[in-house]
Structure 1
Amino acid sequence: MRSLFISDLHLTPGRPDITRAFLRFLEQDAPTARQLYILGDFFEYWIGDDVMDEFHLQIAGALRRLSEHGVSISFMHGNRDFLVGERFCQLAGCTALPDPSVILLAKEPVVLMHGDSLCTLDTSYIRFRKVVRNPLIQKLFLSFPKRMRRKLADRLREKSMSAAREKTEPSMDVTPEAVTDALTQYQSKTLIHGHTHKPAIHDLEDGQQRIVLGDWDTYGWVLEHNPNGFDLKKFTI
């Protein structure tokens, strides 16, 4: 049976081409899989389940139809959509997946992560991540009026893009030590993550591997696991 992994679609009404590609993927490819894992940054941003509009309901409905077809869907938060909550998951027929998580593929443990926590050289972001993932901070943010949340989210996105331009390339990528620590902690030989937008299958020491999912932009990326192993596939949006 096939298991599929995707991340970093950054779905937004401003990129209808990516939305169409994703909906086509759900209709044509995903129904023959046993499981679909979404590993974060599925949406460009998320400021609360109570702000869902027609666009978000369209995506949730498409996922729900796939779930009703018999495909198990798991959703992991990313750094852009960590406020996706129970209401969206219920509408979409998906199960929330902690970051990190361990699943079994061919009876072997596989570590799943979004990937941002592996970028340990980016110390300013790691500090910021710790703050915004605090449940009390999230509860406070979600108590603000919707208009205020939108303004704060826009401001944070602008600040993030500005900071990214000043950071060095190594600081924005995962560190080998963090990868090794994750594999050791969970006694696994395979780590799958997104976030860095650098799709590849990296062979590591002692038969270990790190598989990086691709972001959807000019191309869409899907990792498939089947009886023959892993296959990282891309297609034109």
Structure 2
Amino acid sequence: MILLISDLHLQEERPDITRAFLDLLGGRARHAEALYILGDFFEAWIGDDAMTPFQASICQALRDLSDSGTQVFLMHGNRDFLIGKAFCKAAGCTLLADPCVVEMGGEPVLLMHGDSLCTRDEAYMKLRRYLRNPVSLWILRNLPLSTRHKLARKLRSESKAQTRMKANDIVDVTPEEIPRIMQQFGVKTLVHGHTHRPAIHKLMLGETPARRIVLGDWDHQGWALQVDEQGFQLAPFDFA
């Protein structure tokens, strides 16, 4: 069994989400071959050197899961793209490139966070290219902590304000981008998060049936995609 989750946006202000995640780690995830976290794991991450006690406790929980035998894989999201090697080493997890192809359920599966699929949001795509540039990343990681805190608050505030003002189709994936990238990587299944619109979408790649599985965000309930001998099963679960 393999589990995939995304968009938990973990933060101290939401202990209900944290409890649900820790319950998952202590339950289903202990019986899984691997756990994949496809971005926006934390609500914000300003650098491995700025880890709070809360974030350190999450890091330790992942390490405990990894030590139990479950492989843990982590992908950057738009909120936590500054997660680095130090955190991953401490947490016992492997950082994945976005996008990447993984063998899953007997087939190659394309995994993405999903923000790079929203190409109609030109302002965001421009900002993303700037922030993910290696030079920009180096500069960001070496800014004083106080400056990084201020910048993170500013980016989060602007992001929320702009999202409310943008049309739904702009903040969702670009339909034409889906078949393009799936054909580029030669897959029939794409799994991503980011949009907070959980669903399994059927589509055609030429004459070949395909599917796009969108993971749900953890807000009022949790979401997990389970891959086992029964196939790909996306389902919500209530917080305890």
Aligned-partner Cα distance in 1 for 2:74–2:41: 9
What's the offset of the Cα at 1:106?
Answer: 3.2
The aligned residue for residue 48 of structure 1 is 47
Matches within 5 A, 1:225-236: 225-236=227-238
Q: Which amino acid in structure 1 is aligned with residue 24 of structure 2?
A: F
Aligned-partner Cα distance in 2 for 1:169–1:232: 23
Does the 8 Å CA contact 2:46/2:149 hold for their aligned counterparts? yes
Aligned-residue CA RMSD in angstroms? 0.7
Does the 8 Å CA contact 2:105/2:227 hold for their aligned counterparts? no
Secondary structure, counterpart of 1:159 in structure 2: helix
Q: Which amino acid in structure 1 is aligned with residue 68 of structure 2?
A: H
What's the offset of the Cα at 1:232?
Answer: 0.6
| Deviates further, 105-114 or 15-24 | 105-114
Aligned-partner Cα distance in 2 for 1:211–1:106: 14
What's the offset of the Cα at 1:76?
Answer: 0.3
Aligned-partner Cα distance in 1 for 2:166–2:137: 27
The aligned residue for residue 201 of structure 2 is 202
Aligned-partner Cα distance in 2 for 1:83–1:222: 24
Aligned-partner Cα distance in 2 for 1:59–1:105: 26
What's the offset of the Cα at 1:168?
Answer: 0.4
Matches within 5 A, 1:154-193: 154-193=153-192
Does the 8 Å CA contact 2:189/2:210 hold for their aligned counterparts? yes
What's the offset of the Cα at 1:107?
Answer: 3.0
Q: Which amino acid in structure 1 is aligned with residue 188 of structure 2?
A: K
Deviations 1:43-83 (A, max 9, x none): 00110000002111100111111101111111000000000
Deviations 1:112-142 (A, max 9, x none): 0000000011011011100000111111112
Aligned-partner Cα distance in 2 for 1:104–1:141: 34
Aligned-partner Cα distance in 1 for 2:52–2:161: 28
Aligned-partner Cα distance in 1 for 2:49–2:99: 26
| Structure 1 runs (4+) greater than 4 angstroms displaced | none
Change (3 A) 1:45 1:144: same
Deviations 1:18-57 (A, max 9, x none): 0011001000110100011000000001100000021111
Does the 8 Å CA contact 2:188/2:210 hold for their aligned counterparts? yes
**1:142 paired to 2:141:** yes
The aligned residue for residue 90 of structure 1 is 89
Identity of aligned residues (%): 52
How many residue pairs were aligned? 236
Q: Identify unmatched segments of 5+ residues in structure 1.
A: none
Secondary structure, counterpart of 1:41 in structure 2: coil
Aligned-partner Cα distance in 1 for 2:192–2:86: 25
Does the 8 Å CA contact 2:215/2:224 hold for their aligned counterparts? yes
Aligned-partner Cα distance in 1 for 2:125–2:191: 20
The aligned residue for residue 78 of structure 1 is 77
Instruction: Name the TM-score, length of structure 1 as normaliser.
Output: 0.98
Deviations 1:200-225 (A, max 9, x none): 11111221000000000100000000
Secondary structure, counterpart of 1:59 in structure 2: helix
Instruction: Name the TM-score, length of structure 2 as normaliser.
Output: 0.97
What's the offset of the Cα at 1:93?
Answer: 0.3
**1:58 paired to 2:60:** no
Does the 8 Å CA contact 2:38/2:112 hold for their aligned counterparts? yes
Q: Identify unmatched segments of 5+ residues in structure 2.
A: none
Aligned-partner Cα distance in 1 for 2:189–2:213: 8
